[in-house]
Amino acid sequence: MNAITPAAAERLVRVPLGERAYDILIGPGLIARAGREIAARLKGRKAAVITDENVAPRYLDALVASLEAAGIQAASLVLPAGEKTKSFEHLMTVCDAVLTARVERNDAVIALGGGVIGDLSGFAAGIVRRGVRFVQIPTSLLSQVDSSVGGKTGINTRHGKNLVGVFHQPDLVLADIDVLNTLSEREFRAGYAEVAKYGLIDKPDFFAWLETNWRDVFAGGAARIEAIAASCQAKSDVVVADERENGPRALLNLGHTFGHALEAATAYDSRRLVHGEGVAIGMVLAHEFSARLNLASPDDAKRVEAHLKAVGLPTRMGDIPGELPPAETLMDAIAQDKKVKSGKLTFILTRGIGQSFVADDVPSSEVLSFLKEKHP
């Protein structure tokens, strides 16, 4: 990583997907400029803004004012906050609101919120009128560096997380870093897990930079912008190489197979576990499992755990409040995960820091034995 200079007030990351290419703007004050940025890129002059009850009181009025000042007629829908909003019921509500607002194909659905709102709104944008324009204004660190980029949308079902959805790329992502100042420490830490993930996938220098500079990232300013930009660039590079997750894009799921199983085990109860915390535990488990299979050194797993623990993230299943179901139940959730192909388990494993790879046909017996060993 290069040294960070205070002059880095705003960054632009381009996602070059041909006719569907789009910009990710990262910097302060972007909600106030949203109308101008959207109007410069989209022909439509109507928008349906989807947000939640936590975000709306802070930012909805400012966004609507910005849209209307740019000549964009805006309707809005405020949904309950939380992972359980990613449901068929709320998808129907969003689709109805978009149609009621008479949004047409060149108009936009705008997601103002974290990953839940982005995933749900993007799914609706992808299926209403067989696809309308979509703008992401992510308001959490996790959504700024991960879910807002790349076009994966979806909802949860009783069978698991994100099992129903479509690929629908946004037309613009506005990552306003000012909104991160209102996040709780827990929410920010949860997003940071995804930042660290990019280093652990294939950027060991970035992970080393984070080990040294994470306090500056948490404090805000230029280091935070640099970390978000580096994460978005890493995500963009992978998406461009494999838009529909047929190959290397699966690397972005490092820690997610274990993490999603733990989320399902807690019934998506954010009081016990949020997504980024599940990913943090999952990344430690992935490194430990790799060491168990003699693919990597146990010291790498210890290094990953030490860093995530230093920033305040949970790193063990035992760190999750309350009881967890038995290992066999966790194994069932893993077997239902969307990263299973033809009944064969696919994991993202590693040969060391920044040396992740896709492992097909991982023996389920090894996974179950490992889960029993790590179960609290």
Which of 86, 133, 224, 275 is labelled catalytic?
A: 275
What Å distances lie between residue 213 and 2, 144, 216, 227, 311, CA to CA? 12, 19, 5, 10, 11
Q: Is 139 annotated as a binding residue?
A: yes
Task: Say which of 187, 226, 245, 263 is annotated catalytic.
Answer: 245
Q: Is 116 annotated as a binding residue?
A: yes
Establish whether 118 is an annotated binding residue: yes
Is 53 an annotated catalytic residue? no
Cβ atoms < 10 Å from Cβ of 256: 26
Q: Is 220 annotated as a binding-site member? A: no
Hey, what's the torsion of the CAs at 50, 84, 22, 12, to 10 degrees?
100
- Ligand-binding annotation for 299, yes or no, is no
Active site residue 305: no
What does the alpha-carbon distance between residue 175 and residue 178 come to, in Å, rounded to a whole number?
9
Q: Give me the catalytic one of 256, 287, 303, 374.
A: 256
Please tell me the distance from the alpha carbon of residue 317 to that of residue 295, in angstroms, as a whole number. Answer: 22
46 is catalytic: no
- Annotation marks residue 194 as catalytic: yes
Is residue 90 flagged as an active site residue?
no
The type of residue at 345 is L
**Residue 253 annotated in active site:** yes
Residue 109: strand pairing partners: 48, 134
Give the three-class secondary structure for 162: strand
- Identify the active-site residue in 19, 89, 130, 271: 130
Q: Residues near 57 by Cβ (< 8 Å), separated by ≥ 6?
A: none
115 known member of a binding site: yes
* Alpha-carbon dihedral 239, 243, 247, 249, rounded to 10 degrees: 30
How many angstroms separate the CA atoms of 337 and 357, rounded?
A: 18
Strands, sheet with 11-15, edge to edge from the N-terminal-most edge strand: 11-15, 22-27, 172-176, 133-138, 108-113, 46-52, 73-79
Asked if 292 is an active-site residue, the reply is no
Q: Considering 253, 288, 305, 307, which one is annotated as catalytic? A: 253
Please state, as a whole number, how many other Cβ atoms lie within 10 Å of the Cβ of residue 69: 13
Is 145 known as a binding-site position? no
Catalytic hit among 86, 235, 307, 338: 235
The amino acid occupying position 14 is R
Catalytic hit among 11, 86, 168, 249: 249
**Which is nearest to 56 in space by CA: 100, 112, 98?**
112
Q: Is 140 annotated as a binding residue?
A: yes
Tokens describing residue 239: 């998406």
- On whether 117 is known to bind a ligand per the annotation, the reply is yes
245 is catalytic: yes
Binding site for Zn(2+): residue ranges?
A: 194, 256, 275
Residue numbers annotated as active site: 130, 152, 194, 235, 245, 249, 253, 256, 260, 275
Binding site for NAD(+): residue ranges?
A: 115-119, 139-140, 152, 161
Binding site: residue ranges?
A: 115-119, 139-140, 152, 161, 194, 256, 275
